[in-house]
Amino acid sequence: MNQGLSKPKRKFDEDKAFPHIMLAPTIVVMLIMTVYPIAFTIYYSFTDYNLLKAVKKGYNFIAFDNFTKLFQNAVFRTAIFNTIKFTIFAVLAETIIGLLIAVFVNSLPKGQKVMRTLLLLPYLLPTVTVALAWRMLLSSNYGPINQWLVDMGFKDMANYNWFYHIGTAFWTVWLIDVWQNVPFVFLLLYASLQGVPTQQYEAAHLDGANMFQRFWYVTLPNIRSSIFLCLLLRTIDTFRLFDKVNILTQGGPVNTTTTITQYLYAFGIKTLNFGFGSAGALVMTILVLLLSIPYIRTAIGSK
């Protein structure tokens, strides 16, 4: 009798344990790769940890001093403003241009594959290559763009330095970023457009809808969730903008292109003040989350 009772109980336990066992490797990897670094960052953000000094002299718990220093620092405030401004303008431009190109390519009766391949090229290039290529194109000495402008009659542009003039540095970096990332949005939306049922277009056509109405009432609702996904992914990625700024302007001139990551690199990584850098990284993570919440909510809501 007892034997008969214990058997189903063991089976029940095994069933319960099985999913946990299956999930265990993933949880372990997550703990090591995600939870530990986050916990480490949070912990050190409350200390004056300096990589070199800590070996000999250790480090101290300084509560919120790093955060106070951060927000009292005018350069950090400028970096936050620049990052948000850059993210908003870049993500909007990339999404609008990417969407327009995707709709255009999707409407082509022929040559979609060729267009798709050609349009993707900028996104396939490494960021460093893109930055260096644009630096050469816009060089004040041997750059073809300045030369072309001079030939067009803009004589003052001969020695114009796009990356070190307050009025143009930010927008030049922005333009390069948009140029490189439009293909990503294009690809995602193009794939989404392929899934829009043609019957809906045919029905709209029969109802007398014009091109704009077909786009507004058929295309957009069908690819809405993909657009929000693009906005979310591009926001997160653009918020971390570093390589282009570091190579092209190093945050200058006069901090007009300083982003949060560039600031953290200059004042946290280069100076090895990892405690201070961790505090900045935390602030940045919170900002990205805050910016992403509306997208995530809308995307989830649309599903």
Partner 1 sequence: MKKFAVIMSLLLALCICSVSFAQEPETLTLLLRAGTYGEVIKALIPEFEAAHNCKIEFSEETFDDLHTKISMDAINAEGTYDVIVVDGSWKAEFIDNDILADLTELGYAYDEDIIPATLPAGIGPDGHAYLIPFFGNVTVFMYNQDLIDKYNNGVVPTNWADVLTLAQTMKADGVDGFLLRAGAGDNNVSDFLPVLKSFGAWVMNDDYSEITINTPEAKAALQMYVDLYKAGNMLDKDNIVAAINSGSAAMGVGWPGWGAEHYTTIPTMSAEGADPQNSSIYGCWFIGMANNSTHKELALEFLKEVTSAEFQQSTVEIGGVPCRESCLLNEDSLKINPNLEVVYNSLAVGTYRPFVTFWSEYYTILGPYIEAAVMGQQTVDEALDAAQAELAGLL
Interaction site with partner 1 (CB under 8 A)? 51-53, 55-56, 75, 135, 139-142, 158-159, 161, 163-164, 166, 250-255, 266-267, 269-272
Nearer to partner 1, 38 or 166 (CB): 166
Please tell me the distance from the alpha carbon of residue 56 to that of residue 168, in angstroms, as a whole number: 46
Of 29 and 52, CB closest to partner 1: 52
Q: Is 66 or 106 the residue whose CB approaches partner 1 more closely? A: 66
Report in angstroms how near the CB of residue 131 gets to partner 1 at its nearest: 12
With CA atoms as reference, report the closest residue to 84 among 290, 267, 228: 290
Q: Minimum distance between the CB of residue 267 and partner 1, rounded to whole angstroms?
A: 7
Is residue 264 within 8 Å of 288, Cβ to Cβ? no
Q: How far apart are CA 278 and CA 281, in angstroms?
A: 5
Q: Between the CA atoms of 268, 269, 273 and 276, what dihedral angle is there, to the nearest 10 degrees?
A: 30
User: Token digits for 29?
Assistant: 């990897």
Nearer to partner 1, 161 or 285 (CB): 161
Cβ atoms of 182 and 125 closer than 8 Å: no
The pair of three-digit structure tokens given for residue 111, joined into one six-digit string = 């040559």
CB nearer partner 1, residue 122 or residue 253: 253
Q: How far is the CB of 166 from partner 1 (least distance, A)?
A: 6
Cβ atoms within 10 Å, residue 97: 17
- Residue 233: which of 128, 41, 98 has the closest Cα? 98
Taking the complex as a whole, the smallest distance from the CB of residue 34 to partner 1 amounts, in Å, to 22
Minimum distance between the CB of residue 113 and partner 1, rounded to whole angstroms?
40
The 3-class SS string of 228-269 reads HHHHHHHHHHHHCCCHHHHHHCCCCCCCCCCCHHHHHHHHHH
CB of 40 to partner 1, least distance (A): 15
* Between 102 and 245, CB nearer to partner 1: 245
